[in-house]
Amino acid sequence: MTNRRPMVVAANWKMYKTVRDVEPYVASFRRAVPRDGVVRIVFFPAAPLLGAVVRAVDGLAEVGAQNSHWEQEGAFTGEVSVPMIAALGARLVLVGHSERRQMFGETDATCAKKVRAALDGGLTAMLCVGETLEERNAGHHRAVVIRQLTRSLGDLPARDDPPGRLLIAYEPVWAIGTGRTASPADAQDMHAIIREALATLLGAGASGRVPVLYGGSVKAGNAAELLSQPDVDGALVGGASLAPEEFAAIVAAGAERAARRS
23 is an active site residue: no
Closest-by-Cβ residue to ligand PGA is 238
Cβ at position 53, least distance to ligand PGA in Å: 17
Residue 62 or 171 with smaller CB distance to ligand PGA: 171
Cβ at position 3, least distance to ligand PGA in Å: 23
Distance of alpha carbon 238 from alpha carbon 152, whole angstroms: 23
Q: Is 72 within 8 Å of 122 (Cβ atoms)?
A: no
The Cα-based distances of 110 to 30, 86, 100, 122, 234 in angstroms read 36, 20, 11, 18, 25
Q: Which residues bind ligand PGA (CB under 6 A)?
A: 12, 171, 176-177, 215-218, 236-240
Residue 95 or 240 with smaller CB distance to ligand PGA: 240
The closest of 104, 161, 172 to 134, measured between CA atoms, is 172
The region, left, alpha or beta by phi > 0 then psi within -120 to 50, assigned to residue 69 is beta
97 is an active site residue: yes
Cβ at position 254, least distance to ligand PGA in Å: 15
Cβ at position 260, least distance to ligand PGA in Å: 24
Q: Is 125 within 8 Å of 118 (Cβ atoms)?
A: yes
Residue 64 or 239 with smaller CB distance to ligand PGA: 239
Residue 96 or 216 with smaller CB distance to ligand PGA: 216
Active site amino acids: 97, 171
